[in-house]
Amino acid sequence: LQLDFWLTPRGLGDPVDIHVPFRSLQPVKAHLEANGVFYSIMIEDVQTLIDDEQTEMLRSNRGLTFSTDTFNYASYHTLDEINSFMDALVAENPNLVSKIEIGRSTEKRPLYVLKFSKGGTNRPAIWIDTGIHSREWVTQASGVWFAKKIVLDHENDEGLSSILDKMDIFLEIVTNPDGFAFTHTTNRLWRKTRSKHSGSICVGVDPNRNWDAGFGGSGASGNPCSETYHGPYANSEPEVKSIVDFVKNHGNIKAFISIHSYSQLLLYPYGYTSTPAPDQKELGKDMWHDLSEKAVAALSSLYGTQYKYGSIITTIYKASGSTVDWTYDQGIKYSFTFELRDTGRYGFLLPATQVIPTAEETWLALKVIMEHTRDNPY
Amino acid sequence: IPDSGHKYYLQFTTEDYKTGENAGSCLATVLYPKAKSPPVVTIKCTPAKEQKEIQEEDNRLYQKIRHQTKPIIGNNIPDSYGNIEPALEPVWALAVAGSSYIMWEKSTEDVGYFMAQVKSVKQWIRKDDFIEFDYTVLLHKIPTQEIISCHMRLTWLPSHPLKVKYFCASENEGLDNGSGMGSGSAAGILHEKGANF
């Protein structure tokens, strides 16, 4: 009969568990019933369980994404998990997505950018980055979601499809990988890079004060131990320098969006000066104000999340050497910074349940900006 | 106000920290004098709930804490993933209330705070009816972006105002080990004992 006892007979009154091969089922049942022995079925089909377990094990294997369809977007991931997500996304969509290495971090980690393109050569492009400040975990998580969203919608969503017909999208999900790794291993609230500059025991430079726009002015700190330390000189941080080089070499980026958390704000230049940016008036209207208003309205339409908008210096505080001040001064007219959820209750420690809603609503605002860029070539 | 300072007129609504429900509205004036002294504040609030209901909620919170069989201890609330264990929610709520007192005292016209995390909490059992907790809370400072570690001793009995004693280490997040960087020796020592990086 080839019976396989999982719980062998021990004594009177003790249960016995038997794994019965299919062809022996009838004879075993008949025998038990004929002898008045009570039995119940614990597992209908052992093979199904084994198959399920295999799938589950393959899926939850640390650092290995087998499919971006089974990836858990509603949770926070490690650097390894995000890296393997990116590889899976590229493998699944080789005609749309490619992965570029634009440089290496201080600790020699590769700086990866995903390129979404339907073809052409050096098309006008949109740049989005998340995770430049490593503790702002909802941003990297949203970046992962955006990547998948672009792949899901690139054909059936009219807006996105027409954007990709004319433009490429570049997405850097983990813009500060050294900091990100540090938030997982050592200090969840780490913000800066992990560079060591001679003369100080303190580590790290604020990558959002290291750009060459009003560099070193007030609105950043010269103290290496400060969270807003601008660094020894502009672009001292490889994480920043690699983006600078990429933008200059590409030469055709038309919108640049850098994503932070928290505060629920949509911001535009300048941070280093209160002089309004020259481009602001388009046809007598305040271009940025109007575009921001539309983007924020789109964002709120989904879950009612309230955002404020304005220039960096008037809306939050003076900040020198910040990303979008530099990109704007390079001629990238549509330069924006987002501060995502929330407004302080959880702050950096936003529960993972809010990742997808945050990404979904932010995407609507991003689409408004991208569509405007598409419709207003320059 | 020329030669006097800056005066702000504020009208704002408040919401329950836990549920997000509307908790009332307030009218306030804040005068920051030219000389760096604490602001002069007048404030009038209209709560959304009746005094009786508020008292009942306070009592419920109090009873929840009193009914624990062992002294409550905890770390990292919320954790890295934003989770708060349901059993530790009342303790987090008290931390928010206590920290708001610290933040109230430390805020200036250009500097504000948020409570980022309860790093650790330990309950001290008292012979009387008061509940007492020893906290290490992390405050997020705007615009410097620093994370400030504060030791907070909190005592409470419903219908009594919260009693808060605190000491905040003035520190820069850039330190990997606990050596106080030019912030004065006392602060340096507290930093080493209290904060964990």
Name the minimum distance, in Å, from the CA of A329 to any CA of chain B.
Answer: 24
A183 and A278 housed in the same domain? yes
Range in A282-296, B43-57, B142-156, B183-197 the model is least confident about: B183-197
The catalytic position among A172, A237, A239, A339 is: A339
Backbone angles phi, psi at A220, to 5 degrees: -155, 170
Show the beta-strand stretches assigned E in chain A: 4-7, 17-19, 97-104, 110-116, 125-130, 168-172, 253-261, 265-268, 281-282, 285-286, 308-311, 334-340
Q: Across the interface, do A347 and B172 touch by the CB < 8 Å criterion?
A: no
Torsion of CA B140, B146, B151, B153, to 10 degrees: -30
The answer to whether the Cα torsion of B143, B146, B147, B149 is positive or negative is: negative
Q: How far is CA B135 from CA A264, B154, B173, B179, in A?
A: 29, 8, 19, 21
| A339 classed as catalytic | yes
Chain A CB contacts of B140 below 8 Å: 189, 347-348
A167 in Cβ contact with A374 (< 8 Å): yes
Torsion of CA B74, B95, B193, B169, to 10 degrees: 160
A125 and A37 housed in the same domain? no
Chain A CB contacts of B187 below 8 Å: none
A186 touches chain B (CB under 8 A): yes
Q: How do residues A45-88 score in pLDDT, each as one tens digit?
A: 877 777 766 665 555 554 566 799 999 999 999 999 999 999 99
- Of the partner residues B81, B116, B176, the one whose CB lies closest to the CB of residue A189: B116
Going by their DSSP bridges, the two strands B40-47 and A308-311 should be labelled as unpaired
Going by their DSSP bridges, the two strands A253-261 and A125-130 should be labelled as parallel
Helix (H, G, I), strand (E, B) or coil at A171: strand
pLDDT > 90? residue B37: no
A164 and A241 housed in the same domain? yes
CA distance A284 to A294: 18
A97 falls within a domain: yes
A67 falls within a domain: no
For A8, the domain range is: 4-42
Name the minimum distance, in Å, from the CA of A109 to any CA of chain B.
Answer: 21
A88 and A30 housed in the same domain? no
A69 falls within a domain: no
A14 and A95 housed in the same domain? no
Which pLDDT score, from 0 to 100, does residue A55 have?
Answer: 63
Q: Across the interface, do B82 and A352 touch by the CB < 8 Å criterion?
A: yes
A32 and A90 housed in the same domain? no
A25 and A156 housed in the same domain? no
Q: Across the interface, do B140 and A347 touch by the CB < 8 Å criterion?
A: yes
Q: Which fold would CATH assign to domain B58-168? A: Nuclear Transport Factor 2; Chain: A, (3.10.450)
CA distance A45 to A23: 13
- Of the partner residues B116, B144, B197, the one whose CB lies closest to the CB of residue A227: B144
Which pLDDT score, from 0 to 100, does residue A282 have?
Answer: 62
A60 falls within a domain: no
Q: Across the interface, do B179 and A201 touch by the CB < 8 Å criterion?
A: yes
A352 falls within a domain: yes
Name the minimum distance, in Å, from the CA of A316 to any CA of chain B.
Answer: 8
A51 falls within a domain: no
A143 and A274 housed in the same domain? yes
A31 and A140 housed in the same domain? no
Q: How far is CA A318 from CA A256, B92, B143, in A?
A: 20, 33, 9
ipTM tops the 0.85 cut:
no
Q: What is the mean pLDDT of chain B?
A: 84
Q: Across the interface, do A201 and B117 touch by the CB < 8 Å criterion?
A: no
A220 touches chain B (CB under 8 A): no
Which pLDDT score, from 0 to 100, does residue B177 have?
Answer: 31
A215 in Cβ contact with A273 (< 8 Å): no
Which pLDDT score, from 0 to 100, does residue A5 have?
Answer: 80
The one-character DSSP state at B39 is P
Which pLDDT score, from 0 to 100, does residue B171 have?
Answer: 55
CATH code of the domain containing A214: 3.40.630.10
Backbone angles phi, psi at A52, to 5 degrees: -60, -45
Which pLDDT score, from 0 to 100, does residue B134 have?
Answer: 97
pLDDT > 80? residue B196: no
User: Can you name the residues that pair with B169 across neighbouring β-strands?
Assistant: B149
CA distance A191 to A182: 9
Name the minimum distance, in Å, from the CA of A223 to any CA of chain B.
Answer: 10
Continuous H helices in A96-229? 137-153, 158-166, 177-185
Range in A260-274, B14-28, B97-111 the model is least confident about: B14-28
Continuous H helices in A41-167? 46-59, 79-92, 137-153, 158-166
| Structure tokens, A331 | 């001629």
pLDDT > 80? residue B64: yes
Number of domains forming the structure of chain A:
2
- The model carries a pTM of 0.81
| Structure tokens, A69 | 């369809």
Which pLDDT score, from 0 to 100, does residue A18 have?
Answer: 86
Percent of chain A as helix, strand, coil, to the nearest 5: 40, 20, 45
A227 and A361 housed in the same domain? yes
Residue A299: alpha-carbon gap to chain centroid: 18
A61 falls within a domain: no
Which pLDDT score, from 0 to 100, does residue B36 have?
Answer: 77
A266 falls within a domain: yes
The one-character DSSP state at B134 is E
Spans in chain A with pLDDT lower than 50: 62
